[in-house]
Amino acid sequence: FFPRELGTDPESPNPRAAMVRTSALTWGLVLTMGIAQSGAESSTHRDTHRDAVAIKRVLAKVARAANDPARLQRCYAKVGKNNAGFSFLPNPNVRPECPHKTVHQDPSYCRKDADGVLYLPGDATALCTTLAYFMANGRLPATPAEIKRRGLWMVDAGAAFGGETMVGHSLGFRVLAFEGRPDEAARIVKGCGSLPGVTVLNALLTNGTHGHATLYNAGASASMDKSAVSGEGIEKTILADAVKEGKRETIDVEAMSLTYAARRHNVSRVAVLKADVQGHEFEVLLGALPILVADKPILYFEYVPRLRGEDAPLVLCAANYLGYRCNWQVDMVICVHPAGEHY
């Protein structure tokens, strides 16, 4: 895991700060009240008052950071510090390989080739290597059989192509996967939905409890955040091409928080939360706060500032204020909580 400069400009004006501050505080109240009502509480949810206090504290800090460029910059600067971020692990310099060695650049959809080798696009292989690293360091059980025996869950937010979903399944996790685009979700359901322990939802993860949201239809780069598809990036071109082909610019999609989804689908203990949702990762974390406070799962999320704008570091602040230590892996961020489960 190596640092990478991603070009944020913390001195730029932040026109979204007031909106983010209101969103964080409002949803903080919703989430806090929902902790005691959650039917998906794990065994660590023994002190709901303590968890509620912790969530309020995190939200108050996030609200202050949303209006303070210097705080945002400090959150960014902390990623990759403290001896690569994971000095508390027994073997932080170990580099185990993904047990699935062959990389296919074709969409996965949980397929295998003629030799029985998984189709794993490069990003899915990167997640596989990351999880192997934590299996070797005792932050996850050492074998897929032990992961399965313990009933651990991986959440895959932004499950396009099914590669990461297949990685989670092959490593023994029960997987709850979310994909917003109906056609892509249908392909994932067809390829992966029949696997034991895999649940695929045509839905978006966000910080609202449950409802519907607008998805800007830019193919695999589709986003709930309009800024992600209206800048100078490839996402804008993809969206324009989709419209030219007669596709709708926006799609109305079911949306929910991870807290709500976990209760609805009887998720017991989340060990890994992966989020690649084109600039909406901050809201995914907000909607998962009760789970993050209780289960302290490994976080693996995309961080590309141009998809979000000046407040992109807010997702780093949220992880930092929750007590996580984080590091870069190209345009992904990996975070581990020192007090998380050891195996």
Q: Each residue of 290-327: pLDDT tens digit?
A: 999 999 999 999 999 988 888 999 999 999 999 999 99
Place of tokens 């032990």: 146
Strands in 250-256's sheet, in edge-to-edge order, are: 204-205, 250-256, 210-216
* Tens-digit pLDDT profile for residues 78-134: 998 654 557 777 777 777 878 765 556 666 788 777 777 777 777 888 899 899 999
**Portion of the chain with pLDDT greater than 70, in percent:** 76
SS3 at position 20: helix
Strands 204-205 and 250-256: parallel
Cβ–Cβ < 8 Å for 153, 175 = yes
SS3 at position 316: helix
Q: Which of the listed ranges 219-233, 239-253, 286-300 does the model predict with the highest average pLDDT?
A: 286-300
User: In this model, does residue 40 exceed pLDDT 60?
Assistant: no
Kindly state the tokens that stand for 209. Answer: 């409890």
CA 236, CA 231: separation in Å to the nearest integer? 6
Cβ–Cβ < 8 Å for 97, 135 = no
Cβ–Cβ < 8 Å for 166, 102 = no
pTM of the predicted model as reported, rounded to 2 decimal places: 0.84
Q: Which of the listed ranges 9-13, 182-186, 231-235, 246-250 does the model predict with the highest average pLDDT?
A: 182-186
User: In this model, does residue 9 exceed pLDDT 50?
Assistant: no
Cβ–Cβ < 8 Å for 24, 283 = no
CA 139, CA 27: separation in Å to the nearest integer? 30
Cβ–Cβ < 8 Å for 128, 150 = no
Kindly state the tokens that stand for 232. Answer: 């100078």
Nearest by Cα to 57 from 341, 252, 334, 293: 293
